[in-house]
Chains A and B, each alone.
Chain A
Amino acid sequence: MDYFCTHRARCRCSGGVVVVTNVTSLTRSGLADFVVQRVSAVIIGLYALCVFGFFLANPNMSHGDLVGYFGSTTMQLFSTVTVLATVGHAWIGMWTIGTDYIQLHYFGEHATAFRFLYQSGCLLVLFVYAAWALPLFWGQ
């Protein structure tokens, strides 16, 4: 378990350089983020159970069955909530990873710029995901 760099003596990264800020966290409260993370995980889990359960219970399902299942108001709402939960869950997770690892230690003085790019990329992907998924459930 040799887990550190022998050259860190010249790296003053632990010397109080403030680079990471809270502003881009989902709720800006650690507690709220923590709760959102857990609740959204439960929602996603339940949704996965429902959908897989439906697939397993209907081995010879037709396209009509599928449309019927996902077209019910309950499923439309459940799907929407799950997509939003996924976006929230993913953002909190990706934000945490970014603020842990995209740091001066690895990225030098451009860390903040890199983190901004990374976060923009994540947001873009999540936005595209939601914009693609939501109309699927609410389309005709």
Chain B
Amino acid sequence: MQVSVYRYNPDVDEVPEMRTSALELPEGKDLMVLDVLELLKIEDPTLSYRRSCREGVCGSDGINMNGKNGLACITPVSQVAKRGKLVLRPLPGLPVIRDLVVDMSQFYRQYEKVDPFLQNDSPPPAQERLQSPEERAKLDGLYECILCACCSTACPSFWWNPDKFIGPAGLLQAYRFLADSRDTATAERLAKLDDPFSVFRCRGIMNCVSVCPKGLNPTRAIGKIRSLLLQQGT
């Protein structure tokens, strides 16, 4: 297998480069891309990338594999390699710190903007705030996000205006709290989203949907936010 990896160490390299190496993969096994990275790291310990859980839960190893974003740990090589070639790059659109490690500050800043926590102005009950099973069901497909940034960094609108467009990940979370029956800050949340960039830069390209490793649908959530804004505005 030919593996080509984006390498850049700002302390020594003038410009980034794609470094290709031939790697013997064990026969009869479909490795995950993360396993390939681990094999490469045995050969060259300077190779840098993030990983932790190695089972698609922590969201730290989002990278771009043969042009498509995803989690290295749960993506089989057979699914992405083309003609015996595996091409690994960092997530697009974010500044590179080193090799496959990107600076996620911009992504988190957008996440922070949507106040991703429950707000409720009534005094807390003695035990917990209850929800009916139906109300709880509204959060399915929203709460599962692991903030891997695969979606936002695949979104052209986020590439062009990463400082103003909240991006699919942040907007999915914005809707997660708008849809929560226990949250009472709906009006304030919507008011913060009404400018021409935060939500309305989404052009429905749906790259986010096609890459989300958790199978979530940020475009639908964005559509729901738009409807809420419309309802509120009329």
Which residues of A come within 8 Å of B, CB atoms? 1-4, 6-12, 14-18, 20, 22, 25, 28-35, 96, 99-101, 103, 105
Contacts and interface: CB of A to CB of B under 8 A. Distances in A.
Given A8-B96, A10-B15, A31 B10 contact: no
Interface in B193-234: 193-201, 226, 229-230, 233
A89 to B, nearest CB: 15
Interface residues of B, number: 41
Interface in B85-108: 89, 92-96, 103, 105-106
A6 B196 contact: no
B160 A103 contact: yes
A23 to B, nearest CB: 11
B67 interface: yes
A25 B196 CA distance: 8
Given A7-B15, A15-B106, A20 B195 contact: no
A30 B198 contact: yes
Which 4 residue pairs across A and B have the least CB separation, nearest first? Answer: A30-B200, A1-B67, A9-B96, A4-B92
A14 B160 contact: no
Given A31-B230, A100-B157, A2 B67 contact: yes
A107 to B, nearest CB: 12
A65 to B, nearest CB: 41
B93 A14 contact: yes
Interface string B16-55: 1110000000000000000000000000000000000000
Contacts, number: 96
Contacts of A12: 95
B8 interface: yes
Q: How would you classify the secondary structure of chain A's contact residues: helix, strand, loop or mixed?
A: loop
B61 to A, nearest CB: 18
B15 A100 contact: no
A22 B195 contact: yes
Contacts of A3: 67, 92
Given A10-B15, A16-B106, A100-B157, A34 B95 contact: no
B95 A33 contact: no
Interface of B: 6, 8, 10, 15-18, 64, 67-68, 89, 92-96, 103, 105-106, 109, 156-157, 159-164, 193-201, 226, 229-230, 233
B48 to A, nearest CB: 13
B195 A30 contact: yes
A25 B16 CA distance: 37
A100 B160 contact: yes
B161 A31 contact: no
A88 B106 CA distance: 32
A5 to B, nearest CB: 9
